[in-house]
Amino acid sequence: MIEVLPVQASLSRLASRTGARPGARSVAATLLAVALAAVTLGPAASPAAAATIPAGAGSYTDSRPAGTSGPTTNTGAPVTPKLTAAARNKPVPTNDWWTSLAYQRYGDNPYSTPMYGHPLTYQAKASGLEVGYPTTPAIVGDGRQYEYAHKADLTVGLSGLNSPDTKADDWSDWTVTPYWADGSRTFRATIGHGMPFVYAKGSGGDARITTASTPTVFADNGNVVGITVAGHHYALFAPTGADWNISGTTITAGLAGKDYFSLAVLPSTDALATYRKYAYSFVTGSQVAWQTTGGNVRATYTLATEAKEGTERGTLQALYRHQWLHTTDALTPYTYVSPRGTMKVRESASFTTSQKNNGVVPALPATSGVDRARLTGYLNEVANASDPFSGARDTYWTGKALGKLAQLVPVADQIGQTAVRDKLLGLMKGRLQEWFTAGGASEFSYDKDWKTLTGYPASYGSDTELNDHHFHYSYYVYAAAIIAQYDASWAADSAWGTMIKHLIRDTANPSRTDSAYPFLRGFDVYAGHSWASGHQGFAAGNNQESSSESINLSAGLVLWGAATGDNALRDLGSYLLTTESEAITQYWFDASEQVFPASYKYGTVGMVWGSGASYSTWWTANPEEIHGINVLPVTGGSLHLAREKAAIKRNIAEMERENGGPAQEWRDLLWEFEALSDPASAKVKWDGVNGNYTPEEGESKAHTYHWISTLDTLGAPDMTVTGDLPTSAVFSKNGTRTYTAHNHGSTARTVTFSDGKTLSVPARSTATSTGPGGSDPDPDPDPGNPSTGNTFRLKSGGVLTTATTDPAGADTIASADGVNRDGTPYRPTVYEVKKVNGKVSAGAATAFRLRVDAGAKVGLAPQVRVSYDLTGDGTFDRTETFRYFATDPVNGWEEYTQAVGTRAVTGSLGELKAGTVRLEIWNALGNGTSQVQTGTDAAVLRIPYV
C-alpha cells in the first residue's frame, strides 16, 4: 500500500479491493417508530422485546452478532459519541468534515483532529479552537499529493480555559458548534463550510486570542481590531463597549457584560468595513432545499442568523467553485484560496444554484449494433456460473456481485431473454432476502448509540470505524430498484421494501426530524460530495476515494424512487447526483484545469481529502486503479461523466502514460469510461481483445459488450440536452440525436427534452426515438490541441474553452475603487487555458471580441491584458496590454475589441509547448463594477497560432 497522506495512526488496508477508505460501526437498536417528512420511507417497526425487530417481511437485530465489533478507538476500545447533554439524543452525522469532534478515534486526543471548513481550518484543543487559513500548497508523498494543511494562525478561547475535552453541542447541514467546559468556564464556537467568521460565546473568562507569532496591527478601533498573522488578515470583534488589549501574542477583551465575540479572516485589509457590518449577525444554523423540475435541479443554501447587536441579519458566505459556476446571484469581488480552487464571496444569507439534471436510465437503449447471439452467450456465462456471487460474504463484495447482476437484468429483457432475466432476478432476490432476515450468516444490526445500521459480516471498517456505508449499500439500493422495476410487490413495505428504506435512511436520510438516523449521513451538501471516513480522524481531514460509488447510491435513489412512485426520493437522488457530478468534475478530474495547484503534476486524483487530494488509492499505486476507482461501477447513472469529454481523453492519456501503456487489469472499466467520450476508440480496443480478458470483479463481458457496442452505434451521451423526466438520456452521432426514457409509471407519459423534442413513453416501458441535431461527440476538444483559428470562448468560472455548447452568462468586473489602474491589472477577472500547443502564425496577431456593460455607471473603463506562458512553467514570456475601453452610462452591451490598439507589449511570441494563455479584464477607471459577457460568439479570444 502506498501511504502518501499524513495520518495520526497507521491504517490496515486489505489488498485486492476495488474501493476502500477509513471508518467504523457498532450496533443495538431502540425505538424506531418515527414520522418521516418529505419522502415516504415508511414507518419504522416498533421495537421488539427480543433482539430481532421485524421490518416488513424482513428483520434486523438490536445487538451485534457474537464475536463482532462496533465503533472503536484506534486501540480497539468501544467508543460512544462525544456529545453534550443538549445533543445526546440527536443522530450524529458521522462521515462529515467535522466528525472527529464527536468520534474520539484516538484515545489520547479528546478534542479533534484538523477540520477543513474552507476557507478556514480548525482544530480543537484544551484552550479553545485553533484557526488557520492555509494559502500555499505543499506537494508531498513523492509528488502524488497536494495539500493545504492546517496550521494555526491563532487560537480563540477564554482566559484560563483548560477543558479536558471538546464535545459536539449542535450542528446543522454544514455548520457545527463545538463546546468546551473546565468547571469554571464554558465556551462555544460556531464554524462551518464557506464561513469566514467564527462566532464565539463564552462564560467565566475574558475573550482571548493567542496568535502563532507577534501580529501586525493594521486597525485598532477599541472593540474592533485588525491584525495580520503569517500574512493572513483577521478582524476581531468584541461587543460595543469592550476593548481589545494586545500584549505580544496574546489579545484579550472583557466582554462588557455580554457573552459573545467573533473573528473573521479577511480577503484584504480594505474589507474590514464590509466584514464589520456582519460581525454581530451570528449564524445559528444552515439548511439546503432542493427542487427538480423540467430537467433542472435547483438548490438554495440558507444560513439562519440572529442579531447580537443592531438589526443586521445578513452575512457573508464563500462559495466553492462547483457552486459559483452555477449561480446567477451577485457575488462580491472578494475571493479566498482553498484546496478546491478559488472561493468567491456572496454578501447574503442565501444563494441558489441551478444545473441541468443528469439523467439516469436502467440500461442503455436497444440498438442494431449489438449482436444478440453474442450477447446471449455472455449473459448465460453469468447466469449459469457455479457461483454468481464469487464467494462474496461481506457487505461490500456482496454488493458488488448484486450490482453486476442488476446491470444485466434490463439488458436480458431488452433482447427477449426473459428466462435469463428472471433467473438473475431470482438470484438477486434470494441474496438480498438472506441479508434482510436476522439470525443467519448475514444480517443487519442497529446501534442505538451511533444510530446506524451495519451489515455483518462487515468490511473495510464499515463496523469499527463507520466507514463506507454509502458505498456498500449503494449496490443493495440499486439492485432493489431493478427488482422493483419488474416486481413491484417484492418492493412493497409489507415485503422487502422496508429494509431497503432502512438502508436509505442510514446513508441518505432526507429527514432532519428522524430520531433513528441522521440527515444525509455521508453527503456534505456544501462541499458537494460525500465523505467516506466515519470518524474523520486524520491530519488531512476526511476523505473520499470512490466518488463513483457515491454516485451509485444517488442513481439507485433515482431508480428506486421512480420504481416505487416516490418522486420526492427520486428527486433527492437527482439533487445528490447532479451536485456530486460537478464536484467530481472539478475536484477529482480538474476538468477546467483551475483547481489543482500549478506545481501538481497530475491531472486527476484517486482521493480527495479535506486538505487537498492525492494520486493514490488506499490499497495500490497502480494507475489503472487510481483512475478506475472513480469510474466503477459503470451503470446508467454514469452518463454524467460524459459532460466533460475532453477531460475523459486527458484522463485516459494520463493513465496510459503513468501505466506505461494501455490498461490491462481494469481494461473493461476504462474502455467503458472512454466510450463516454470516444465510443469508436473504445470499440477498437474491445474488438482487439475479442472477449479474451478477465472482467473487473463488478463487471461482466455481457455488460461491457452491450455498453461499448451501444455507444458506438448511438454516439456518446449528449449532455447539452436534458429531459423533464429524471430517467431519460440523449446520445448524439454524426448530427443525429437519439432520445430515450424509461417510464416506471402505470400510465403513458410524454417526455419533453430541452431542445424541443418530445417522446411518448408507454407505461412501464422504455421508448427510443431519433431526430436531427446534436453536436460532435467531442464538443470540447482537448485545449492542448486547439483547432485551426485558435478561437477560445470566455466561460464563466475563469476558463478559456474551444467548446461552443456552454450557456451564455456574465461575470462581474471589480471596481477600480476610484483609482487610475490604467495598464496595471487590479482585481482582474481572469480566464485561462492550459496545455496549449501551437506554432506562431505568420502575420497574425492577438484578437478579441468582448461585450461589456457598465449599466448606468459613469466613467468606467474595462481594460484587457493577454499573456502567453510558452512552456507552462508559470512565467509569462509575452504580455500584451490593450488600451482601455470607455463605457457609456446606458444599460446594454457594448463591444470591446483589439481595434483599440495596444498600450504596452513585453516579451516575444514563440512556439507554445504545453503552454498557458491568459486573458485578464479589469476596470482601469471609475468607482463601480461592470460586466463582461461569457459563453457566446461575442466573448472570444483568438490567438496568433496554428
651-551-37 Cα angle (round to 5): 160
Mean pLDDT of 874-888: 93
Cα–Cα dist 825/343, whole Å: 20
Q: What is the dihedral of CA 414, 417, 420, 425, to 10 degrees?
A: 40
Under the banding of pLDDT at 50, 70 and 90, the label for residue 663 is very high
DSSP β-ladder status, 749-752 and 736-743? unpaired
Indicate the Cα dihedral angle 762, 768, 772, 777, nearest 10°: 140
Q: How far apart are CA 802 and CA 646, in angstroms?
A: 10
Q: Distance between CA 759 and CA 775 in Å, rounded?
A: 20
Ranges 246-250, 290-294, 442-446: which has the least confidence: 290-294
The length of the chain in residues reads 946
On the question of pLDDT at 915 being above 80, the answer is yes
Model pLDDT, residue 202: 97
> CA nearest 408: which of 426, 430, 432, 392?
426
Output the pLDDT for position 803.
Answer: 80
Question: Sorting pLDDT into bands at 50, 70 and 90, what band is 773?
Answer: low
Average pLDDT score over residue span 254-262: 97
Q: What is the average per-residue pLDDT within 93-120? A: 97
Distance of CA 74 to the CA centre of its chain: 28
Query: What is the rounded distance in angstroms from the CA atom of residue 236 to the CA atom of residue 431?
Result: 59
Q: How far, in Å, CA of 808 to CA of 822, rounded?
A: 29
Is the CB of residue 203 less than 8 Å from the CB of residue 163?
no
d(CA 946, CA 941): 14
Distance CA 157, CA 200 (A): 8
Q: How confident is the model at residue 828 (pLDDT cuts 50, 70, 90)?
A: very high
Q: What pLDDT digit, counting tens, does each position of 637-653 carry?
A: 999 999 999 999 999 99
Q: Count of CB atoms within 10 A of residue 402's CB?
A: 27
Provide φ and ψ at 88, rounded to 5°: -60, -30
pLDDT of residue 417 exceeding 90: yes
Q: Contact, 606 vs 545, CB < 8 A?
A: yes
- The three-point CA angle 68-69-71 to 5° equals 160
Residue 729 and residue 631: Cα distance in Å, rounded? 19
784/824: higher pLDDT: 824
User: Distance (Å, rounded) from C-alpha 940 to C-alpha 919?
Assistant: 10
- Looking at the annotation, which residues are catalytic? 468, 545, 549
128-132 and 902-907 beta bridge pairing: unpaired
Using a pLDDT cut of 90, give the percent of the chain over it.
87
- What's the pLDDT score for residue 806? 77
pLDDT at 19 over 80: no
Question: Residue type for 207, please?
Answer: A
Using pLDDT thresholds of 50, 70 and 90, give the confidence band for residue 43.
Answer: very low
Condensed to tens digits (0 to 9), the pLDDT of residues 701-757 reads: 999 999 999 999 999 999 999 999 999 999 999 999 999 999 999 999 999 999 999
Query: Residue 883 carries which DSSP code?
Result: P
Tell which wins on pLDDT, 946 or 647: 647
Q: Which pLDDT belongs to residue 15?
A: 31
Q: What is the pLDDT of residues 158-191, one digit of tens each?
A: 999 999 999 999 999 999 999 999 999 999 999 9
The DSSP line for 731-769 is: EEETTEEEEEEEE-SSS-EEEEBTTS-EEEE-TTEEEEE
Residues facing residue 915 across a β-bridge: 836
Is the pLDDT at 8 greater than 90? The verdict is no
Task: Break the chain down into helix, strand, coil percent, rounded to 5.
Answer: 20, 30, 50
> Can you tell me the mean pLDDT for 623-650?
97
Cα dihedral sign, 160-164-169-175: positive
334: pLDDT strictly greater than 80: yes
CA distances from 195 to 315, 540, 906 (A): 9, 19, 41
Confidence of residue 41 (pLDDT cuts 50, 70, 90): low
Mean pLDDT of 247-261: 97
Our measurement of the distance from residue 162's CA atom to the centroid of its chain's CA atoms, rounded to an integer in Å, reads: 37
| Lowest mean per-residue pLDDT among 131-135, 403-407, 882-886 | 882-886
To 10 degrees, what angle do helices 395-414 and 418-435 make? 160
Residue given cell 501574542 in the structure block = 249
pLDDT tens per residue, range 301-325? 999 999 999 999 999 999 999 999 9
Q: Which pLDDT does position 13 carry in this prediction?
A: 28
Q: Is the pLDDT of residue 355 over 60?
A: yes
Provide mean pLDDT across the span 351-374. 96
pLDDT in tens, 590-603: 999 999 999 999 99
Q: Which residue shows C-alpha cell 463582461?
A: 932
For 556-708, strand residue ranges (E) read 607-609, 612-614
- Whether 782 shows a pLDDT value over 80: the answer reads no
Q: How far is CA 649 from the centre of its chain?
A: 21
Residue 668 has pLDDT above 50, yes or no: yes
351 strand-pairing partners: 301
Whether the per-residue pLDDT at 895 is higher than 90: the answer is no
Average pLDDT of span 429-450: 97
Taking a C-beta distance cutoff of 8 angstroms, is the pair 195, 120 a contact? yes
Tell me the average pLDDT of the chain.
91
Instruction: Give the three-class secondary structure for 290.
Output: strand
pTM above 0.85, yes or no: no
SS3 625: helix
Residue 39 has pLDDT above 50, yes or no: no
pLDDT at 25: 25
Grid cell, residue 32, equals 424506531
Residues 541-593: tens digit of each pLDDT: 999 999 999 999 999 999 999 999 999 999 999 999 999 999 999 999 999 99
Q: Which residues pair with 792 in a beta bridge?
A: 941
- Of 400, 403, 356, 361, the C-alpha closest to 636 is 361
Average pLDDT over residues 37-49: 40
Q: Tens of pLDDT along 691-705? A: 999 999 999 999 999
pLDDT score at 783 = 31
- Give the tens place of pLDDT for each residue, 802-827: 887 778 889 999 999 999 999 999 99
pLDDT of residue 776 exceeding 80, the answer is no
Q: Name beta bridge partners: 530.
A: 523
Place of cell 462474496: 392
